[in-house]
């Protein structure tokens, strides 16, 4: 997967792993199933489906934020519109700079 290489993430047979340092200074890891799309269920019980590449980018940028907030901020920062997701689901976001993350 191109996004895994671009972001320097770990890849396992069923998961993509994002290592990061938590607010408490301890190493942590976020796991994402290898699926083209993942469903996020919000507290009000509605759900939305997002491309895995967008969720990975959002999590790398803001690993401590809830994924629902991180993805919203990601879309604001990149200028990607929600209707563009359905029209071009396989397109990865253009990234000018890769955010620096601390390795555990």
For every residue of 13-67, DSSP letters joined together read SSEEEEEEE-TTS-EEEEEEES-SEEEEE-TTS-EEEEEHHHHHHHHHH-TTS-H
pTM: 0.75
Categorize the per-residue pLDDT at 11 as very low, low, confident or very high, splitting at 50, 70 and 90: very high
Say whether 11 sits in a helix, a strand or coil: strand
Domain ranges of the chain: 2-87
- pLDDT for 81: 83
pLDDT given at position 43? 87
Give the model's confidence band at 35: pLDDT under 50 very low, under 70 low, under 90 confident, else very high.
very high
Distances (CA, A) of 81 to 28, 53, 54, 65, 95: 31, 15, 12, 21, 16
pLDDT digits (tens, 9 = 90+) for 53-101: 999 999 999 999 999 999 999 999 999 887 666 544 444 545 444 444 4
């Amino acid at each position: 997967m191109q996004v895994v290489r671009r972001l320097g993430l770990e890849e396992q047979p069923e998961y993509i792993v994002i290592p990061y340092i938590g607010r408490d200074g301890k190493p942590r890891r976020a796991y994402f199933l290898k699926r083209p799309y993942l469903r996020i269920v919000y507290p009000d019980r509605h759900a939305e489906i997002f491309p895995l590449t967008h969720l990975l980018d959002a999590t790398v940028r803001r690993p401590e934020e809830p994924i629902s907030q991180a993805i919203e901020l990601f879309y604001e920062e990149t200028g990607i519109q929600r209707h563009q997701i359905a029209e071009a689901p396989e397109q990865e976001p253009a990234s000018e700079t890769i955010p620096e993350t601390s390795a555990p």
